[in-house]
Amino acid sequence: MRIACVFIPSFTVAVERRADPRLAEQPLVVYDRNAVIDASPEAASTRVLTVRQAKAACPHAVFVEANRALYRDVTEAMLNAVEEVSPLVEPVEPGAAYADVLGLQGHYDDEFSLSAALVEAVRTATGLLAGTGIADGKFVAWAAASSVPPGDAGVVPSGREQEFLRDKDTALLPFGPDVILRLNLLALRTLGDIAALPRTSVEAQFGRIGTRLWELASGIDREPLRPRKPQESLSERLSFDASVVATEALVMAGRQLLARLLRRLKGRTARRMHLQLLADDRIVWEKLEVFREPTGDERRMVLILKTRLSFLELPQAVDTVAITLTGIGREMAKQEKLFADTQNLNQIAEAIRQLRARYDRPMIYRVAEVDPCSRHPEERSVLVPYDA
Amino acid sequence: MLKAPGRAERPGTLRRLNAPRTIEVRAEAGGAPSALRRRGRWVEVAEVLDRYRTDDRWWTAEPISRSYYALLLEDGRAVTVFRDEVSGGWSEQRYG
């Protein structure tokens, strides 16, 4: 197993700085609701604080509210770019992915050239500089990628994982702060310190996670790559000339978008509908609607859209409506009742009687199950006269 | 219980759905069909997709023993046929 890790450090900060280059030289804090989710290195001390605490600790920093829609789009672009180099890609978190690169080495001079191809693909697609790491196993690849500056590559040859990890900080381990703190209290500050201990001692001290802890510190990571499945999605968005709050206008826009999407759906069905209302490219409201069964029925989608939007109380005006359909599947037919209109049943019964009288035999039949579980299809159901 | 496939039903009686229809088949030495005669012309079998056997009512005077073959024909159609191991005849099985 040869795994590449592609990693954009401080992803949200990098995306915000790309969107507004004026932020490049300033300490930057990205927050969502009341918590800091990322910060530039100059404001790194704020990373675990609330917004109020962060403002007190770093008053000169610029505070930017997280733009999840933008991060999602950039991550998607990054994953697509990595998939151009290797078809097997597993998303890890926004701005990080693993790729299976076993067998790709033959296409490049060496693994550094392969890493350079990954960096270039991501840079072209997103404008951001990623670091890469290539190793046997996800954890070592991750450690290699996060220990090099953006744009560089860390390649760990097979069999030298333990040597590479020896002096790395225990904070690299994918465990919670309580585990890292406990390691530090035991004076285990590097991964080499943990690997030097007998495996059983670590297991005795840390219980169930002890095995994984010792294995990762020793460069053993058998966790397989779980590549994402290619998934078709259809998106449409509509922007207003001026911001709106009236839900009627939003419903109208939504209907228009659905009409466009249904044309592109071409008789197929969708499993999920993602509704988004945005202002200045930031999500004001969003809802992921999962249909009870896959549908391509415009009336049903419009009904759901109206139900969701009609009574919505928006915190602010929005300028864009976006709808994405995912879980695209094959055409599906739904069996309707032949005689749905019960008012006409008497007329139908009369027509059937007249047909029988005219031809002297039943002309209209219905299907009746006889032995639905039979191994012989012809024994499962029979046709009986409709008026029998 | 099971009547000979392809027999016309009398008016007014219950009609079976998916009744097998007698069909002409050219079979290989191993028993699998190699061509079917459909609408007056022979169509080659491109691939045997599945085969299975059913044996039923062997305790009665009218046992059922069939070898089913799910076939992909050269013209792109997928059909299921079976050989009646009692009578030796071939039938096409339809599914409603």
Domain closes at, from A124, A149, A174:
A149
Tokens of A361: 């035999």
Q: Do the strands B15-16 and A381-385 form a parallel or antiparallel pair, or are they unpaired?
A: antiparallel
- The answer to the question of residue A18 being in a domain is yes
Same domain, A9 and A132: yes
List % helix, strand, coil for chain B (3-state, nearest 5): 0, 55, 45
From residue B46, alpha-carbon distances to A124, A384, B72 in Å are: 47, 38, 6
pLDDT of chain A along its 388 residues, tens only? 899 999 999 999 999 998 888 888 888 999 988 888 888 888 877 777 788 888 888 888 899 888 887 888 899 899 999 999 998 999 998 999 999 999 887 888 889 999 999 999 999 999 999 999 999 999 999 999 999 999 999 999 999 999 999 999 999 999 888 899 999 999 999 999 999 999 999 999 998 889 999 999 999 998 899 998 877 889 999 999 888 888 888 999 999 999 999 999 988 899 889 999 998 888 888 888 888 888 888 999 999 999 888 878 888 899 999 999 988 887 766 666 666 666 777 888 888 888 888 888 888 888 888 888 888 888 888 888 887 6
Distance from CA of A385 to the nearest CA of B (A): 8
Structure confidence by residue, pLDDT tens digits, A280-321: 888 888 888 888 888 888 999 999 999 888 878 888 899 999
Distance from CA of B30 to the nearest CA of A (A): 24
Nearest alpha-carbon partner for A378 in B40, B14, B87, B53: B14
Chain B neighbors of A380, CB-CB under 8 A: 17-18
Q: In the prediction, which pLDDT does A335 show?
A: 65
Closest in A361, A382, A385 to B17, CB measured:
A382
pLDDT of B1 higher than 80: no
Residues in B whose CB is inside 8 Å of some CB of A read 1-2, 11-12, 14-20, 54, 56, 64, 66, 93-96
At residue A166, φ and ψ (nearest 5 deg) are -50, -45
Mutate to test the interface with A, among B9, B10, B14 (most CBs of A within 10 A): B14
- The answer to the question of residue A171 being in a domain is yes
Domain closes at, from A149, A173, A204:
A149
- The answer to the question of residue A334 being in a domain is no
Q: In the prediction, which pLDDT does B50 show?
A: 87
Chain B neighbors of A384, CB-CB under 8 A: 14
B4, B7, B13, B16 alpha-carbon torsion, rounded to 10°: 60
Cβ–Cβ gap B2/A365 under 8 Å: no
Mutate to test the interface with B, among A359, A366, A378 (most CBs of B within 10 A): A378
Domains of chain B, by residue range, sit at 21-93
Same domain, A321 and A352: no
Closest in B11, B16, B54 to A378, CB measured:
B16
Same domain, A27 and A70: yes
Chain A neighbors of B52, CB-CB under 8 A: none
pLDDT of B2 higher than 80: no
Closest residue in A to B20 (Cα–Cα): A378
Q: Could you give the number of structural domains in chain A?
A: 4
Closest in A379, A380, A382 to B15, CB measured:
A382
| CATH number of the domain where residue A212 is located | 1.10.150.20
Same domain, A107 and A193: no
Cβ–Cβ gap A380/B1 under 8 Å: no
Closest residue in A to B55 (Cα–Cα): A375
CA dist., res. B52 & res. B2, Å (int) = 19
- The answer to the question of residue A223 being in a domain is no
Mutate to test the interface with A, among B16, B22, B62 (most CBs of A within 10 A): B16
Tokens of B48: 């045997």
ipTM reported for the complex surpasses 0.85: no
Same domain, A356 and A380: yes
Q: In the prediction, which pLDDT does A24 show?
A: 86
3-state SS assignment for residue B44: strand
Distance from CA of B19 to the nearest CA of A (A): 5
- The answer to the question of residue A156 being in a domain is no
CA dist., res. A362 & res. A18, Å (int) = 76
Same domain, A312 and A357: no
User: In 10 A of CB A100, how many CB atoms?
Assistant: 18
- Mean pLDDT computed over B26-41: 88
Same domain, A278 and A350: no
Residues in A whose CB is inside 8 Å of some CB of B read 360-362, 365, 367, 375-385
Cβ–Cβ gap B12/A385 under 8 Å: yes
- The answer to the question of residue A332 being in a domain is no
Closest residue in A to B11 (Cα–Cα): A361
CB A202 within 8 A of CB A194: yes
Same domain, A15 and A53: yes
CA dist., res. A241 & res. A318, Å (int) = 11
- The answer to the question of residue A269 being in a domain is yes
pLDDT of B16 higher than 50: yes
- Mean pLDDT computed over B57-70: 90
Nearest alpha-carbon partner for A321 in A272, A269, A284, A289: A284
Closest in A360, A377, A385 to B93, CB measured:
A377
Q: Which domain holds residue A278?
A: 234-326
Closest in B2, B11, B12 to A376, CB measured:
B2
Same domain, A24 and A121: yes
Cβ–Cβ gap B95/A377 under 8 Å: yes
Q: In the prediction, which pLDDT does A229 show?
A: 82
Domain closes at, from A99, A128, A149:
A149
| CATH number of the domain where residue A44 is located | 3.40.1170.60
Residue B96: pLDDT band with limits 50, 70, 90: low
pLDDT of B9 higher than 60: no
Structure confidence by residue, pLDDT tens digits, A182-200: 999 999 999 999 999 999 9
pLDDT of B43 higher than 90: yes
- The answer to the question of residue A228 being in a domain is no
